[in-house]
């Protein structure tokens, strides 16, 4: 599918193209990062994450989160599961309640990757 370019001298490279200056994301890396972004790429999950982050001690219980949306409890539970399995939310059960806490490091890594020209 890709045209061989190895026999061309620099001056002969196709007219439209400029050379690479830094190395692009390897496919493997891209496939690791995409699921993280996918987990983040939903308005409900963005608000969930932000709601958890906004809580006093950095964690919020599900009962609290459920009431913040006009969505069924299973739907919220599903979104929390997605965020948890992607590594963006940490989970801990205390008594009858389940608490979620933001994994700041994961968010920071993502931000660094996006902010730093990829």
Partner DNA sequence: TCAAGACATCGACAACCTTCTATGTCTTAG
Partner DNA sequence: CTAAGACATAGAAGGTTGTCGATGTCTTGA
Which 3-state string (H, E, C) describes 79-92?
Answer: HHHHHHHCCCEEEE
66/109 with CB nearer DNA: 66
Alpha-carbon gap, residue 28 to 14, rounded angstroms: 28
Cβ of residue 112: shortest distance to DNA, in angstroms? 23
Alpha-carbon gap, residue 54 to 104, rounded angstroms: 13
Residue 8 binding partner per list DNA, a second copy, none, with a CB distance cut-off of 5 to 8 Å that depends on partner kind: none
Q: What angle do CA 9, 12, 17 make, to 5 degrees?
A: 110
Cβ of residue 22: shortest distance to a second copy, in angstroms? 5
Residue 112 binding partner per list a second copy, DNA, none, with a CB distance cut-off of 5 to 8 Å that depends on partner kind: a second copy
Nearest Cα neighbor of 41 from 114, 101, 100 is 114
Q: The tokens of 51 are what? A: 């709601």
**Interface ranges with a second copy (CB under 8 A):** 1-3, 14, 16-25, 27, 30-31, 33-35, 37-38, 40-44, 46-47, 49-51, 53-57, 59-61, 63-64, 67-70, 97, 99, 102, 104, 107-108, 110-112, 114-118
């Amino acid at each position: 599918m890709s045209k061989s370019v190895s026999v061309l001298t620099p001056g002969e490279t196709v007219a439209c193209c400029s050379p690479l200056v830094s190395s692009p994301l390897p496919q493997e890396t891209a496939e690791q990062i995409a699921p993280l972004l996918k987990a983040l790429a939903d308005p409900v999950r963005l608000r969930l994450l932000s709601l958890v982050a906004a809580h006093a001690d950095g964690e919020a219980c599900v009962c609290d989160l459920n009431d913040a949306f006009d969505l069924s409890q299973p739907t919220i539970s599903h979104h929390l599961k997605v965020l948890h399995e992607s590594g963006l939310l940490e989970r801990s059960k205390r008594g009858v309640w389940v608490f979620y806490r933001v994994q700041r490091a994961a968010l920071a890594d993502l931000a660094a990757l996006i902010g730093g020209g990829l």
